[in-house]
Chain A
């Protein structure tokens, strides 16, 4: 839904102005990153699935460009241009259009051209405090517009890792499950497969080489792989290094000898993935299952409880907050907290705002290392629709 009438345009502009004033007052620098962006960063980070949702085109010089599908990545790029040291602490806010192809056809709730007003915060090591503040500012802006009937949904894909730690499974299983968690479609099946301990059969591995590799002696292992390649007259080409190949071979070798995933751990993991509901109740459920876990580390639980406490301190009514362990698994670049603000009138599939932590994104944009980053954006047209089309 673009502004089809002057009234609509004016209402959107007035709303954005109010939202931006909340952001600026909270200490965020107003910026306006370019609408046309290099396609690389988006496609490299988010994968081929996003290309299907992004307007990608080639310009007269052959450069692959896109209409920005969000404003977060452009803000990362802007930060890197401004600061030679990417770890510089900075806070930005923006308001402007973003574009997404809608495979089911563009509708009012899922337009191909829409406006986002948002905030991004980089370099702040006090992660949980920064996250709580981000949520609080977004809620404050929404309330300033006059919308009070919101609910907040939380997720945290980092929490899954902590739960895995508590189950005391081996590092190989942990990596496998962490990776599998990001693929909800095949996760249950993977979990079942892991419980039998089967590594999918794939005939042609060099058996002798596999059995000679040792994780605790990478140098010797790499040398063994190099000798094997030389003997077989295979040239090492491409971007994957000898180390990359050796590391994967070691995982393969170890997984073959790995006892099946402990049934108790598999059960705990399944229970955790099923946790969903009011945030306080969900916390109790997680607490119970962590206490039952073999190496019952409380780290996951501490994080969860501390986050709720910080949100409550920031003035968020916890009665309106829900948590789902699965939420955030399919969302592109998030690495920790994810959240969504919903309006009952628009339904759960059209959140009026959303955001989270994405520490790995800046590296993809070219920083060379992970940088603490948390941000969120308001979907301007949806907020206006939730307000019945009236600006404040």
Chain B
């Protein structure tokens, strides 16, 4: 029988939180072979193959169907898979990796607190500066969909690989679309979130992809795993209360 492949983050805080969450569900995830290797297994679930993948590439693995399951942020799925609604199944919210994708503008723009007001300044801005306001972001598709749904097209995206919050003060862009958890980094960089500028409230999820080959046996194993993780997430929520 072929195995159920699960991609989990290969490093950093997301990997630790994933491992902890499995432990609370009574599942021990460990590496197979060399400690620096990228294969693992789950004690007690011999049908599952674990692949350690960099969290940004988990979306790509789900998109192509090279894994059955993956743990990553909703933001990365929405950004990288345009037909996520049909291709990807959201199996379980995992209660960590919280991050909001937001539209943030300089706090000194006391004249702008909604997307409608942002739209108002776009044409005067262009009249004066000869170009549209620039939006720095790594969430190009999410940004385009969000503004598109509001009928706003008078802006220019600047791709930003990192330290996006610094783009307005350094003059690289006028505003940003980025993730934030507490808003502290935004405030430190002189930025505020628009009143209607929260695009997505994201957290880590267990995702399944329809692009992979599924058998009834694999589906059953997937349900078992999802059930265990779900009870672990519920317990965490209760203990927090």
In the assembled complex, 25 residue pairs joining A and B whose CB atoms fall closer than 8 Å, in A order, are A44-B132, A45-B131, A47-B132, A47-B153, A47-B155, A47-B156, A48-B147, A52-B144, A179-B120, A234-B107, A234-B108, A234-B190, A235-B107, A236-B108, A237-B108, A237-B168, A238-B108, A239-B171, A239-B174, A244-B121, A244-B128, A248-B112, A248-B120, A249-B111, A360-B130
Q: A238-B171, A238-B174, A248-B120 are in contact. Are A364 and B130 (CB under 8 A)?
A: yes
List A contacts of B190 (CB < 8 A).
Answer: 234-235, 237
Which residue of B is nearest A200, CB measured?
A: B116
* A177 CB to nearest chain B CB (Å): 12
A238 to B124, CA, bound (A): 16
List B contacts of A228 (CB < 8 A).
Answer: 110
A244 touching B124, Cβ below 8 Å: yes
List B contacts of A51 (CB < 8 A).
Answer: 156-157
In the assembled complex, A229 has its CB within 8 A of some CB on chain B: yes
| CB under 8 Å from chain A, chain B span 169-186 | 169, 171, 174
0/1 interface trace, chain A 210-252, chain B, CB 8 Å (1 if under): 0000000000000001001100001111111000110111011
List A contacts of B125 (CB < 8 A).
Answer: 240, 244
0/1 interface trace, chain B 97-119, chain A, CB 8 Å (1 if under): 00000000011111111101100
Give 13 A-B pairs besides A205-B110, A234-B110 with Cβ atoms closer than 8 angstroms.
A48-B154, A52-B144, A200-B114, A204-B113, A205-B111, A225-B110, A235-B190, A238-B168, A240-B121, A240-B174, A245-B111, A251-B120, A364-B131
In the assembled complex, B195 has its CB within 8 A of some CB on chain A: yes
* B146 CB to nearest chain A CB (Å): 12
In the assembled complex, A43 has its CB within 8 A of some CB on chain B: yes
In the assembled complex, A183 has its CB within 8 A of some CB on chain B: yes
Which residue of A is nearest B121, CB measured?
A: A248
A245 to B121, CA, bound (A): 9
* B168 CB to nearest chain A CB (Å): 4
Q: A48-B156, A179-B123, A244-B128 are in contact. Are A237 and B169 (CB under 8 A)?
A: yes
Complex partner residue of B108 from A205, A235, A248, CB under 8 angstroms: A235
In the assembled complex, A103 has its CB within 8 A of some CB on chain B: no
Contact residues of A: prevailing secondary structure:
helix
A52 to B148, CA, bound (A): 12
Q: A44-B130, A202-B117, A247-B124 are in contact. Are A252 and B106 (CB under 8 A)?
A: no
A48 touching B155, Cβ below 8 Å: yes
A206 to B112, CA, bound (A): 11
Contacts from A to B (Cβ < 8 Å): 43-45, 47-49, 51-52, 179, 182-183, 185-186, 200, 202-206, 209, 225, 228-229, 234-240, 244-245, 247-249, 251-252, 360, 363-364
0/1 interface trace, chain B 135-171, chain A, CB 8 Å (1 if under): 0000000001001000101111100000000001101
Complex partner residue of B106 from A52, A237, A247, A251, CB under 8 angstroms: A237
B124 touching A206, Cβ below 8 Å: no
Counting from the closest, the 6 A-B pairs by CB-CB distance are A44-B131, A248-B111, A237-B169, A238-B168, A238-B106, A237-B190
A200 to B196, CA, bound (A): 13
Complex partner residue of A202 from B114, B130, B132, B157, CB under 8 angstroms: B114
List B contacts of A238 (CB < 8 A).
Answer: 106, 108-109, 168-169, 171, 174
List A contacts of B129 (CB < 8 A).
Answer: 239
A93 to B153, CA, bound (A): 32
Complex partner residue of B151 from A182, A186, A236, CB under 8 angstroms: A186
List B contacts of A43 (CB < 8 A).
Answer: 156
A337 to B108, CA, bound (A): 39
* B151 CB to nearest chain A CB (Å): 6
A247 to B123, CA, bound (A): 13
A286 to B168, CA, bound (A): 46
List B contacts of A183 (CB < 8 A).
Answer: 151
A245 to B151, CA, bound (A): 23
A235 to B128, CA, bound (A): 22
